[in-house]
Structure 1
Amino acid sequence: MLTFIGLGLYDETDISIKGLDRIRRSDYVFLECYTSVLTGTTPEQMTELFGKEVGMLYREDVEGHPETFLELAKESDVAFLTAGDPMVSTTHIDLRIRAAAMGIRTEIIHGASIVSAVCGLTGLQNYRFGKSCSLPFPYGKWAPTTPIEVIEQNIADKLHTLVYLDIQPDRYMRIPEAVRMLEEMAAARGISIPVYVGVARAGSGSPVVAAGTAAALAGVDFGGPLHILVVPGDLHLMEREYLETFAGL
Protein backbone atom coordinates (compact mmCIF):
# COMPACT_ATOMS: atom_id res chain seq x y z
CA MET A 1 0.00 0.00 0.00
CA LEU A 2 1.32 3.43 -0.98
CA THR A 3 -0.38 6.41 0.65
CA PHE A 4 0.21 9.91 -0.65
CA ILE A 5 -0.13 12.29 2.30
CA GLY A 6 -0.25 16.07 2.00
CA LEU A 7 1.46 17.90 4.86
CA GLY A 8 -0.08 21.33 4.26
CA LEU A 9 1.67 24.63 3.78
CA TYR A 10 4.20 25.58 6.43
CA ASP A 11 5.16 23.28 9.31
CA GLU A 12 4.62 19.80 10.73
CA THR A 13 1.47 20.82 12.63
CA ASP A 14 -0.44 21.52 9.38
CA ILE A 15 -1.02 17.81 8.78
CA SER A 16 -4.54 16.42 9.15
CA ILE A 17 -5.44 14.01 11.95
CA LYS A 18 -6.16 11.39 9.30
CA GLY A 19 -2.74 11.91 7.75
CA LEU A 20 -0.96 11.75 11.10
CA ASP A 21 -2.75 8.54 12.03
CA ARG A 22 -1.78 6.91 8.74
CA ILE A 23 1.87 7.90 9.14
CA ARG A 24 1.98 6.36 12.61
CA ARG A 25 0.53 3.11 11.27
CA SER A 26 2.90 2.95 8.28
CA ASP A 27 5.93 0.67 8.07
CA TYR A 28 8.01 3.18 6.11
CA VAL A 29 7.75 6.98 5.84
CA PHE A 30 9.36 9.00 3.07
CA LEU A 31 9.35 12.77 2.49
CA GLU A 32 9.60 14.06 -1.07
CA CYS A 33 11.58 17.25 -0.67
CA TYR A 34 12.27 18.75 -4.08
CA THR A 35 8.96 19.83 -5.68
CA SER A 36 8.25 21.90 -2.55
CA VAL A 37 9.34 22.17 1.07
CA LEU A 38 7.89 23.02 4.45
CA THR A 39 10.08 25.93 5.51
CA GLY A 40 8.67 26.13 9.04
CA THR A 41 9.97 22.77 10.20
CA THR A 42 12.77 20.22 9.92
CA PRO A 43 12.90 16.46 9.35
CA GLU A 44 13.87 16.08 13.01
CA GLN A 45 10.75 17.94 14.16
CA MET A 46 8.61 15.80 11.87
CA THR A 47 10.16 12.63 13.24
CA GLU A 48 9.43 13.75 16.79
CA LEU A 49 5.76 14.51 16.07
CA PHE A 50 5.13 11.54 13.80
CA GLY A 51 6.94 9.01 15.97
CA LYS A 52 8.54 7.60 12.82
CA GLU A 53 11.88 8.00 11.10
CA VAL A 54 11.44 10.06 7.92
CA GLY A 55 13.51 9.13 4.87
CA MET A 56 14.38 11.89 2.39
CA LEU A 57 13.57 11.52 -1.31
CA TYR A 58 15.07 13.82 -3.95
CA ARG A 59 14.45 14.26 -7.67
CA GLU A 60 16.51 11.27 -8.75
CA ASP A 61 14.85 9.06 -6.14
CA VAL A 62 11.33 9.93 -7.28
CA GLU A 63 11.69 10.46 -11.02
CA GLY A 64 14.72 8.29 -11.74
CA HIS A 65 14.50 5.29 -9.43
CA PRO A 66 11.14 5.17 -7.61
CA GLU A 67 11.29 1.37 -7.61
CA THR A 68 13.43 1.66 -4.46
CA PHE A 69 10.41 2.56 -2.34
CA LEU A 70 7.69 1.24 -4.65
CA GLU A 71 8.95 -2.29 -4.15
CA LEU A 72 8.49 -1.81 -0.41
CA ALA A 73 4.87 -0.83 -0.98
CA LYS A 74 4.09 -4.22 -2.53
CA GLU A 75 4.29 -5.93 0.84
CA SER A 76 4.34 -3.07 3.38
CA ASP A 77 2.52 0.18 4.17
CA VAL A 78 4.50 3.10 2.77
CA ALA A 79 3.66 6.74 3.48
CA PHE A 80 4.81 9.17 0.80
CA LEU A 81 4.76 12.70 2.25
CA THR A 82 4.62 15.90 0.26
CA ALA A 83 4.26 19.57 1.08
CA GLY A 84 0.85 21.00 0.19
CA ASP A 85 -1.56 18.64 -1.54
CA PRO A 86 0.07 15.62 -3.20
CA MET A 87 -1.69 15.60 -6.55
CA VAL A 88 -1.07 19.24 -7.47
CA SER A 89 2.30 18.05 -8.80
CA THR A 90 2.34 16.09 -12.06
CA THR A 91 5.36 14.21 -10.68
CA HIS A 92 3.13 12.59 -8.09
CA ILE A 93 0.39 11.85 -10.61
CA ASP A 94 2.98 9.99 -12.69
CA LEU A 95 4.18 8.15 -9.59
CA ARG A 96 0.67 6.93 -8.77
CA ILE A 97 0.30 5.64 -12.34
CA ARG A 98 3.61 3.77 -12.01
CA ALA A 99 2.46 2.24 -8.73
CA ALA A 100 -0.81 1.08 -10.29
CA ALA A 101 1.12 -0.54 -13.14
CA MET A 102 3.08 -2.51 -10.53
CA GLY A 103 -0.12 -3.70 -8.88
CA ILE A 104 0.35 -1.50 -5.81
CA ARG A 105 -2.78 -0.23 -4.09
CA THR A 106 -2.70 3.54 -3.50
CA GLU A 107 -4.61 6.09 -1.48
CA ILE A 108 -4.52 9.89 -1.17
CA ILE A 109 -4.88 11.92 2.03
CA HIS A 110 -5.14 15.52 0.96
CA GLY A 111 -3.53 18.55 2.58
CA ALA A 112 -3.95 22.31 2.32
CA SER A 113 -2.74 23.56 -1.07
CA ILE A 114 -1.05 26.80 -2.10
CA VAL A 115 -3.59 26.93 -4.94
CA SER A 116 -6.47 27.60 -2.54
CA ALA A 117 -4.36 29.44 0.05
CA VAL A 118 -3.39 32.09 -2.50
CA CYS A 119 -7.07 32.78 -3.16
CA GLY A 120 -7.73 33.24 0.55
CA LEU A 121 -4.73 35.51 1.12
CA THR A 122 -5.20 37.67 -1.97
CA GLY A 123 -8.98 37.64 -2.42
CA LEU A 124 -8.57 36.66 -6.06
CA GLN A 125 -11.45 34.39 -7.01
CA ASN A 126 -10.43 30.83 -7.77
CA TYR A 127 -12.61 30.45 -10.87
CA ARG A 128 -10.92 33.48 -12.47
CA PHE A 129 -7.49 31.82 -12.69
CA GLY A 130 -6.24 30.55 -16.02
CA LYS A 131 -3.29 28.29 -16.75
CA SER A 132 -0.48 28.47 -14.19
CA CYS A 133 3.23 28.48 -14.97
CA SER A 134 6.63 27.98 -13.34
CA LEU A 135 9.43 30.52 -13.43
CA PRO A 136 12.87 28.83 -13.21
CA PHE A 137 16.19 30.47 -12.54
CA PRO A 138 18.03 31.28 -15.79
CA TYR A 139 20.59 28.69 -16.84
CA GLY A 140 23.54 30.58 -18.24
CA LYS A 141 22.14 32.74 -21.04
CA TRP A 142 19.05 30.54 -21.38
CA ALA A 143 15.72 31.59 -19.91
CA PRO A 144 12.36 30.11 -20.95
CA THR A 145 9.71 32.34 -22.52
CA THR A 146 6.81 30.07 -21.55
CA PRO A 147 5.92 32.06 -18.39
CA ILE A 148 5.35 35.34 -20.21
CA GLU A 149 3.47 33.56 -23.00
CA VAL A 150 1.09 32.04 -20.45
CA ILE A 151 0.67 35.37 -18.68
CA GLU A 152 0.02 37.22 -21.94
CA GLN A 153 -2.69 34.74 -22.97
CA ASN A 154 -4.33 34.82 -19.54
CA ILE A 155 -4.38 38.62 -19.50
CA ALA A 156 -5.99 38.59 -22.94
CA ASP A 157 -8.63 36.23 -21.54
CA LYS A 158 -9.03 38.44 -18.42
CA LEU A 159 -7.74 35.64 -16.18
CA HIS A 160 -5.23 35.57 -13.32
CA THR A 161 -1.93 33.65 -13.52
CA LEU A 162 -0.37 31.76 -10.63
CA VAL A 163 3.41 31.79 -11.08
CA TYR A 164 5.35 29.12 -9.17
CA LEU A 165 8.85 30.33 -8.31
CA ASP A 166 11.88 28.08 -8.61
CA ILE A 167 13.13 26.10 -5.60
CA GLN A 168 16.63 24.64 -5.61
CA PRO A 169 18.61 22.90 -2.85
CA ASP A 170 20.75 25.96 -2.18
CA ARG A 171 18.41 28.83 -3.04
CA TYR A 172 14.83 29.84 -3.70
CA MET A 173 13.49 32.53 -5.99
CA ARG A 174 12.25 35.67 -4.29
CA ILE A 175 9.35 37.80 -5.48
CA PRO A 176 11.38 40.92 -6.44
CA GLU A 177 13.73 38.77 -8.51
CA ALA A 178 10.80 37.07 -10.24
CA VAL A 179 9.17 40.42 -11.00
CA ARG A 180 12.40 41.73 -12.56
CA MET A 181 12.62 38.68 -14.80
CA LEU A 182 9.00 38.97 -15.91
CA GLU A 183 9.37 42.70 -16.57
CA GLU A 184 12.30 41.97 -18.90
CA MET A 185 10.29 39.29 -20.71
CA ALA A 186 7.27 41.57 -20.99
CA ALA A 187 9.35 44.43 -22.40
CA ALA A 188 10.82 42.10 -25.01
CA ARG A 189 7.29 41.18 -26.15
CA GLY A 190 6.04 44.76 -26.05
CA ILE A 191 3.46 44.17 -23.31
CA SER A 192 2.86 45.75 -19.92
CA ILE A 193 1.99 44.11 -16.61
CA PRO A 194 0.25 46.74 -14.46
CA VAL A 195 -0.12 44.80 -11.20
CA TYR A 196 1.67 41.97 -9.40
CA VAL A 197 0.62 40.24 -6.19
CA GLY A 198 3.31 38.58 -4.08
CA VAL A 199 2.71 36.08 -1.28
CA ALA A 200 5.36 34.86 1.16
CA ARG A 201 5.09 32.08 3.77
CA ALA A 202 1.48 31.11 3.18
CA GLY A 203 0.20 29.03 6.08
CA SER A 204 2.53 30.58 8.64
CA GLY A 205 1.51 32.94 11.42
CA SER A 206 3.12 35.85 9.60
CA PRO A 207 2.46 35.66 5.86
CA VAL A 208 3.27 38.72 3.76
CA VAL A 209 0.94 39.73 0.95
CA ALA A 210 1.65 42.79 -1.18
CA ALA A 211 0.15 44.06 -4.43
CA GLY A 212 1.28 46.81 -6.75
CA THR A 213 3.45 47.73 -9.68
CA ALA A 214 6.86 46.20 -10.31
CA ALA A 215 8.48 49.28 -8.75
CA ALA A 216 6.26 49.06 -5.67
CA LEU A 217 7.02 45.38 -5.03
CA ALA A 218 10.75 45.98 -5.44
CA GLY A 219 10.64 47.92 -2.17
CA VAL A 220 8.74 45.29 -0.15
CA ASP A 221 10.59 43.11 2.34
CA PHE A 222 8.87 39.76 1.84
CA GLY A 223 11.23 37.96 4.21
CA GLY A 224 12.06 34.27 4.08
CA PRO A 225 10.71 31.46 1.91
CA LEU A 226 8.60 30.27 0.30
CA HIS A 227 7.46 32.93 -2.17
CA ILE A 228 4.82 32.74 -4.89
CA LEU A 229 3.56 35.32 -7.37
CA VAL A 230 0.25 36.15 -9.05
CA VAL A 231 -0.21 38.27 -12.16
CA PRO A 232 -3.86 39.35 -12.07
CA GLY A 233 -6.06 39.84 -15.09
CA ASP A 234 -8.87 42.37 -14.85
CA LEU A 235 -9.85 42.79 -11.22
CA HIS A 236 -13.43 42.40 -10.03
CA LEU A 237 -14.58 45.21 -7.73
CA MET A 238 -14.45 42.92 -4.67
CA GLU A 239 -11.02 41.57 -5.62
CA ARG A 240 -9.67 45.12 -5.88
CA GLU A 241 -11.20 46.07 -2.53
CA TYR A 242 -9.68 42.96 -0.89
CA LEU A 243 -6.24 43.76 -2.28
CA GLU A 244 -6.54 47.39 -1.16
CA THR A 245 -7.54 46.25 2.34
CA PHE A 246 -5.09 43.39 2.88
CA ALA A 247 -2.28 43.85 0.33
CA GLY A 248 -1.70 47.59 0.07
CA LEU A 249 -2.82 47.96 -3.55
Structure 2
Amino acid sequence: MTLYMIGLGLGDEKDITVRGLELVQQADMVFLEAYTSILGIDKERLEAFYDKTITIADRGLVENDAESLILEPAKSQKVAFLVVGDPVCATTHTDLMLRAKQLSIKVEMVHNASIMGAAGACGLQLYNFGHTVSIPFWDDKWKPTSFYEKIKYNRQGGMHTLCLLDIKVKEPDFDAMMKGRQKFLPPRYMSVQIAAQQLLEVEDAILQQRAYDGRTTLCIGLARMGQPTQKIVAGTLQELSKADLGGPLHSLIICGECHELELEVVKEFLVEGSTYQLDNNTKLESLPPSEQER
Protein backbone atom coordinates (compact mmCIF):
# COMPACT_ATOMS: atom_id res chain seq x y z
CA MET A 1 0.00 0.00 0.00
CA THR A 2 2.17 2.89 1.27
CA LEU A 3 5.37 3.61 3.17
CA TYR A 4 5.25 7.02 4.81
CA MET A 5 8.67 8.44 5.70
CA ILE A 6 7.90 11.17 8.20
CA GLY A 7 10.28 13.73 9.65
CA LEU A 8 9.79 14.51 13.35
CA GLY A 9 11.86 17.68 13.53
CA LEU A 10 14.49 18.29 16.20
CA GLY A 11 12.64 18.93 19.42
CA ASP A 12 9.89 16.81 20.94
CA GLU A 13 6.64 15.04 20.08
CA LYS A 14 4.96 18.31 19.09
CA ASP A 15 7.41 19.20 16.32
CA ILE A 16 5.78 16.80 13.86
CA THR A 17 3.83 18.55 11.08
CA VAL A 18 0.04 18.41 11.01
CA ARG A 19 0.16 16.26 7.86
CA GLY A 20 2.73 13.96 9.45
CA LEU A 21 0.59 13.53 12.56
CA GLU A 22 -2.49 12.69 10.50
CA LEU A 23 -0.57 10.02 8.57
CA VAL A 24 0.86 8.50 11.77
CA GLN A 25 -2.62 8.25 13.25
CA GLN A 26 -3.90 6.59 10.08
CA ALA A 27 -1.02 4.12 9.89
CA ASP A 28 -1.37 0.40 10.63
CA MET A 29 2.24 0.12 11.80
CA VAL A 30 4.64 2.77 13.12
CA PHE A 31 8.45 2.50 13.34
CA LEU A 32 10.86 4.97 14.91
CA GLU A 33 14.37 5.02 13.43
CA ALA A 34 16.68 5.30 16.42
CA TYR A 35 20.31 5.20 15.37
CA THR A 36 21.15 8.11 13.03
CA SER A 37 19.83 10.65 15.51
CA ILE A 38 17.82 10.97 18.72
CA LEU A 39 14.96 13.07 20.06
CA GLY A 40 15.18 14.68 23.45
CA ILE A 41 12.25 12.56 24.68
CA ASP A 42 11.51 8.85 25.05
CA LYS A 43 9.30 6.60 22.92
CA GLU A 44 6.52 6.57 25.52
CA ARG A 45 5.87 10.30 25.10
CA LEU A 46 5.57 9.84 21.36
CA GLU A 47 3.15 6.94 21.81
CA ALA A 48 1.00 8.94 24.22
CA PHE A 49 0.85 11.97 21.91
CA TYR A 50 0.28 9.99 18.71
CA ASP A 51 -1.96 7.40 20.39
CA LYS A 52 -0.05 4.69 18.54
CA THR A 53 2.20 1.79 19.46
CA ILE A 54 5.69 2.47 18.12
CA THR A 55 8.37 -0.10 17.28
CA ILE A 56 11.98 1.02 17.67
CA ALA A 57 13.90 0.43 14.44
CA ASP A 58 17.58 0.07 15.27
CA ARG A 59 20.34 -0.30 12.67
CA GLY A 60 20.05 -4.08 12.59
CA LEU A 61 16.33 -3.99 11.90
CA VAL A 62 16.56 -1.38 9.14
CA GLU A 63 19.60 -2.84 7.39
CA ASN A 64 18.87 -6.55 7.86
CA ASP A 65 15.17 -7.06 8.56
CA ALA A 66 13.46 -4.16 6.76
CA GLU A 67 12.34 -6.48 3.97
CA SER A 68 10.19 -8.65 6.25
CA LEU A 69 9.28 -6.24 9.05
CA ILE A 70 8.73 -2.95 7.17
CA LEU A 71 8.50 -3.42 3.41
CA GLU A 72 6.45 -6.62 3.27
CA PRO A 73 3.69 -5.16 5.48
CA ALA A 74 3.77 -1.94 3.43
CA LYS A 75 2.61 -3.90 0.37
CA SER A 76 -0.86 -4.18 1.88
CA GLN A 77 -0.88 -1.74 4.81
CA LYS A 78 -0.01 1.83 5.70
CA VAL A 79 3.40 1.85 7.39
CA ALA A 80 4.88 4.99 8.97
CA PHE A 81 8.65 5.22 9.34
CA LEU A 82 9.51 8.09 11.70
CA VAL A 83 12.84 9.88 11.37
CA VAL A 84 14.33 12.49 13.68
CA GLY A 85 14.90 15.63 11.62
CA ASP A 86 14.13 15.17 7.93
CA PRO A 87 13.87 11.75 6.22
CA VAL A 88 16.16 12.63 3.30
CA CYS A 89 19.16 13.68 5.41
CA ALA A 90 20.61 10.17 5.87
CA THR A 91 21.73 7.65 3.24
CA THR A 92 20.00 4.82 5.10
CA HIS A 93 16.61 6.40 4.59
CA THR A 94 17.22 6.92 0.88
CA ASP A 95 18.20 3.25 0.60
CA LEU A 96 14.95 2.19 2.30
CA MET A 97 12.96 4.39 -0.08
CA LEU A 98 14.67 2.84 -3.12
CA ARG A 99 14.07 -0.68 -1.85
CA ALA A 100 10.39 0.13 -1.36
CA LYS A 101 10.01 1.50 -4.88
CA GLN A 102 11.69 -1.60 -6.32
CA LEU A 103 8.90 -3.60 -4.70
CA SER A 104 6.28 -1.26 -6.23
CA ILE A 105 5.41 0.18 -2.81
CA LYS A 106 4.19 3.75 -2.87
CA VAL A 107 6.45 6.07 -0.86
CA GLU A 108 5.40 9.43 0.55
CA MET A 109 7.80 11.87 2.22
CA VAL A 110 6.85 14.34 4.92
CA HIS A 111 9.68 16.79 5.47
CA ASN A 112 10.59 18.63 8.65
CA ALA A 113 13.34 20.72 10.27
CA SER A 114 16.80 19.15 10.42
CA ILE A 115 20.27 20.09 11.61
CA MET A 116 21.07 21.01 8.00
CA GLY A 117 18.81 24.05 8.35
CA ALA A 118 18.95 24.63 12.09
CA ALA A 119 22.72 25.19 11.83
CA GLY A 120 21.87 28.64 10.48
CA ALA A 121 20.73 29.68 13.97
CA CYS A 122 24.36 30.53 14.77
CA GLY A 123 24.28 33.35 12.25
CA LEU A 124 26.08 31.70 9.33
CA GLN A 125 24.29 31.84 5.99
CA LEU A 126 23.26 28.39 4.77
CA TYR A 127 24.22 29.11 1.16
CA ASN A 128 27.81 29.61 2.33
CA PHE A 129 28.19 25.98 3.44
CA GLY A 130 30.09 23.38 1.44
CA HIS A 131 30.30 19.60 1.90
CA THR A 132 28.87 18.25 5.15
CA VAL A 133 31.23 15.77 6.83
CA SER A 134 30.90 13.12 9.53
CA ILE A 135 33.42 12.87 12.37
CA PRO A 136 33.63 9.27 13.67
CA PHE A 137 34.76 8.14 17.10
CA TRP A 138 38.38 7.01 17.10
CA ASP A 139 39.82 4.07 18.95
CA ASP A 140 43.33 2.73 19.44
CA LYS A 141 43.29 0.85 16.13
CA TRP A 142 41.11 3.04 13.89
CA LYS A 143 41.61 6.77 13.35
CA PRO A 144 40.12 7.71 9.97
CA THR A 145 40.80 11.20 8.64
CA SER A 146 38.90 11.16 5.32
CA PHE A 147 36.86 14.18 6.42
CA TYR A 148 40.00 16.34 6.42
CA GLU A 149 40.20 16.71 2.63
CA LYS A 150 36.58 17.86 2.41
CA ILE A 151 37.15 20.44 5.14
CA LYS A 152 40.20 21.65 3.22
CA TYR A 153 38.20 21.82 -0.03
CA ASN A 154 35.47 23.86 1.65
CA ARG A 155 37.93 26.22 3.30
CA GLN A 156 39.80 26.80 0.04
CA GLY A 157 36.50 27.98 -1.44
CA GLY A 158 35.73 30.13 1.60
CA MET A 159 32.87 27.81 2.59
CA HIS A 160 31.75 26.68 6.03
CA THR A 161 31.78 22.98 6.97
CA LEU A 162 29.03 21.36 9.03
CA CYS A 163 30.46 18.38 10.93
CA LEU A 164 27.95 15.76 12.05
CA LEU A 165 29.29 13.98 15.12
CA ASP A 166 29.25 10.22 15.65
CA ILE A 167 26.51 8.28 17.46
CA LYS A 168 27.07 4.77 18.79
CA VAL A 169 23.81 3.04 19.70
CA LYS A 170 23.37 -0.67 20.37
CA GLU A 171 27.00 -1.45 19.59
CA PRO A 172 27.87 -5.11 20.36
CA ASP A 173 30.11 -5.92 23.32
CA PHE A 174 32.61 -8.24 21.63
CA ASP A 175 34.14 -9.36 24.94
CA ALA A 176 30.73 -10.60 26.07
CA MET A 177 30.10 -12.22 22.68
CA MET A 178 33.35 -14.19 23.01
CA LYS A 179 31.91 -15.62 26.23
CA GLY A 180 28.70 -16.61 24.46
CA ARG A 181 26.57 -13.74 25.78
CA GLN A 182 24.75 -11.14 23.70
CA LYS A 183 25.36 -7.75 25.24
CA PHE A 184 25.41 -4.19 23.96
CA LEU A 185 27.61 -1.33 25.01
CA PRO A 186 26.04 1.81 26.53
CA PRO A 187 25.12 4.42 23.91
CA ARG A 188 27.75 7.05 23.16
CA TYR A 189 27.26 10.45 21.56
CA MET A 190 30.26 12.44 20.40
CA SER A 191 30.55 15.86 22.01
CA VAL A 192 31.97 19.05 20.53
CA GLN A 193 34.85 18.64 22.99
CA ILE A 194 35.84 15.23 21.61
CA ALA A 195 35.39 16.32 17.99
CA ALA A 196 37.58 19.38 18.54
CA GLN A 197 40.25 17.26 20.24
CA GLN A 198 40.30 14.82 17.30
CA LEU A 199 40.45 17.66 14.78
CA LEU A 200 43.39 19.17 16.66
CA GLU A 201 45.16 15.81 16.55
CA VAL A 202 44.56 15.59 12.80
CA GLU A 203 45.93 19.10 12.38
CA ASP A 204 49.11 18.11 14.20
CA ALA A 205 49.50 15.03 12.01
CA ILE A 206 48.74 16.73 8.67
CA LEU A 207 49.86 20.27 9.48
CA GLN A 208 51.48 20.87 6.12
CA GLN A 209 48.09 20.79 4.37
CA ARG A 210 46.70 23.66 6.45
CA ALA A 211 42.97 22.89 6.23
CA TYR A 212 42.44 24.93 9.41
CA ASP A 213 44.36 26.30 12.38
CA GLY A 214 43.38 25.17 15.86
CA ARG A 215 44.48 28.50 17.36
CA THR A 216 42.93 30.97 14.91
CA THR A 217 40.19 29.38 12.78
CA LEU A 218 36.69 30.28 13.93
CA CYS A 219 34.54 27.27 14.85
CA ILE A 220 31.05 26.94 16.30
CA GLY A 221 29.68 24.20 18.55
CA LEU A 222 25.95 23.38 18.40
CA ALA A 223 24.06 21.35 20.99
CA ARG A 224 20.44 20.13 21.13
CA MET A 225 19.31 22.37 18.28
CA GLY A 226 15.58 23.01 18.20
CA GLN A 227 15.15 22.08 21.87
CA PRO A 228 14.57 24.40 24.85
CA THR A 229 18.11 23.67 26.08
CA GLN A 230 19.72 24.57 22.73
CA LYS A 231 23.25 25.90 23.14
CA ILE A 232 25.64 27.56 20.69
CA VAL A 233 29.28 28.33 21.50
CA ALA A 234 31.88 29.89 19.19
CA GLY A 235 35.66 30.08 19.46
CA THR A 236 38.82 28.41 18.22
CA LEU A 237 39.16 24.62 18.14
CA GLN A 238 41.47 24.80 21.12
CA GLU A 239 38.81 26.69 23.07
CA LEU A 240 35.99 24.37 22.00
CA SER A 241 38.09 21.36 23.02
CA LYS A 242 37.52 22.53 26.60
CA ALA A 243 33.94 23.80 26.27
CA ASP A 244 31.11 21.87 27.95
CA LEU A 245 27.92 22.08 25.89
CA GLY A 246 26.01 19.54 27.96
CA GLY A 247 24.08 16.50 26.72
CA PRO A 248 23.61 15.26 23.12
CA LEU A 249 23.21 15.78 20.26
CA HIS A 250 26.16 17.95 19.23
CA SER A 251 27.39 19.27 15.88
CA LEU A 252 30.39 21.39 14.94
CA ILE A 253 30.97 24.03 12.27
CA ILE A 254 34.38 24.95 10.91
CA CYS A 255 33.96 28.40 9.44
CA GLY A 256 35.24 29.49 6.07
CA GLU A 257 35.18 33.12 4.95
CA CYS A 258 32.66 35.03 7.07
CA HIS A 259 30.66 38.05 5.96
CA GLU A 260 30.55 40.91 8.46
CA LEU A 261 26.82 40.28 8.97
CA GLU A 262 27.55 36.66 9.89
CA LEU A 263 30.24 37.74 12.34
CA GLU A 264 27.88 40.25 13.90
CA VAL A 265 25.66 37.36 15.03
CA VAL A 266 28.44 34.88 15.80
CA LYS A 267 30.21 37.27 18.20
CA GLU A 268 27.30 36.86 20.62
CA PHE A 269 28.27 33.20 21.02
CA LEU A 270 32.03 33.60 21.56
CA VAL A 271 33.31 31.85 24.69
CA GLU A 272 34.20 34.22 27.48
CA GLY A 273 37.74 35.46 27.09
CA SER A 274 38.09 34.01 23.59
CA THR A 275 41.38 34.75 21.86
CA TYR A 276 39.61 34.78 18.50
CA GLN A 277 39.53 38.21 16.89
CA LEU A 278 36.62 39.03 14.60
CA ASP A 279 38.98 40.71 12.15
CA ASN A 280 41.23 37.62 12.12
CA ASN A 281 39.01 35.41 9.99
CA THR A 282 41.80 34.34 7.62
CA LYS A 283 40.58 31.96 4.94
CA LEU A 284 42.92 29.40 3.45
CA GLU A 285 43.15 30.95 0.00
CA SER A 286 44.35 34.26 1.47
CA LEU A 287 47.51 32.60 2.79
CA PRO A 288 50.71 33.17 0.79
CA PRO A 289 51.12 30.67 -2.10
CA SER A 290 54.05 29.06 -0.31
CA GLU A 291 51.76 28.31 2.65
CA GLN A 292 49.03 26.79 0.45
CA GLU A 293 51.47 24.46 -1.26
CA ARG A 294 53.01 23.09 1.95
TM-score bracket for this pair, using the shorter chain length: over 0.9
* Secondary structure in 1 matching 2:37: coil
Q: 1:195 aligns with which of 209, 215, 218?
A: 218
- Counterpart Cα distance in 2 of 1:234 and 1:28: 47
1:204 equivalent in alignment to 2:227: yes
User: How many angstroms does 1:209 deviate by?
Assistant: 0.4
Q: Tell me which amino acid in the other structure corresponds to 1:89.
A: A
Deviation at 1:246, TM superposition (A): 4.0
**Counterpart for residue 261 of structure 2:** 238
Residue 171 of structure 1 corresponds to 188
Do 1:198 and 1:228's aligned partners in 2 also have CA atoms closer than 8 Å? yes
CA contact (8 A) 1:5 1:81 kept: yes
Q: Deviations over 1:65-96 (max 9, x none)?
A: 21121000000000000000001111111111
Q: 2:51 — aligned with what?
A: 51
Match of residue 32 from structure 1: 33
Question: Contact between 1:34 and 1:167, CA under 8 Å: does it hold in 2?
Answer: yes
* CA distance, structure 2, for counterparts of residue 15 and residue 247 of structure 1: 32
Paired residue secondary structure (2:88): helix
Aligned partner letter, 2:253: V
TM-score, normalised to structure 1, is 0.96
Q: CA deviation at 1:238?
A: 0.7
Cα deviation for residue 154 of structure 1 reads 0.8
Aligned 8 A contact 1:209 1:246 in 2: yes
How many pairs are equivalent?
A: 247
**Which residue pairs with 1:92 in the alignment?**
93
Deviations 1:217-244 (A, max 9, x none): 2342201111000001011111111101
* Correspondence 1:226 to 2:249: yes
Output the amino acid matched with 2:166: D
**Aligned partners of 2:149, 2:64: CA distance in 1, in Å?**
30
Q: Normalising to structure 2: TM-score of the pair?
A: 0.81
Q: Distance in 2 between matches of 1:147 and 1:227?
A: 17
Unpaired stretches in structure 1, ≥5 consecutive residues: none
Indicate if the aligned counterparts of 1:122 and 1:247 stay in contact, CA closer than 8 A: no
Measured against aligned partners, the alpha-carbon deviations of 1:197-230 in whole angstroms (never above 9, x if no partner) come to 0000101112110111123223422011110000
Q: In the alignment, what sits opposite 2:20?
A: 19
Q: Counterpart of 1:161?
A: 161
Percent identity over the alignment is 41
Letter in 2 for 1:180: Q
**Residue aligning to 1:129:** 129
2:239 corresponds to which of 213, 216, 240: 216
Structure 1 contact 199–210 (Cα < 8 Å) conserved: yes
AA partner of residue 135 (structure 2): L
Q: Which AA in structure 2 matches 1:99?
A: A
Distance 2:72 2:139 in 1: 35
In the TM superposition, what is the alpha-carbon distance from 1:15 to its structure 2 partner?
A: 0.8
Is residue 30–residue 55 contact of structure 1 (8 Å, CA) maintained in 2? yes
Q: Highest Rg: 1 or 2?
A: 2
Write the distance in 2 (CA, Å) between the matches of 1:199 and 1:247. 12
For 2:51 and 2:140, the matched residues in 1 are separated by 44
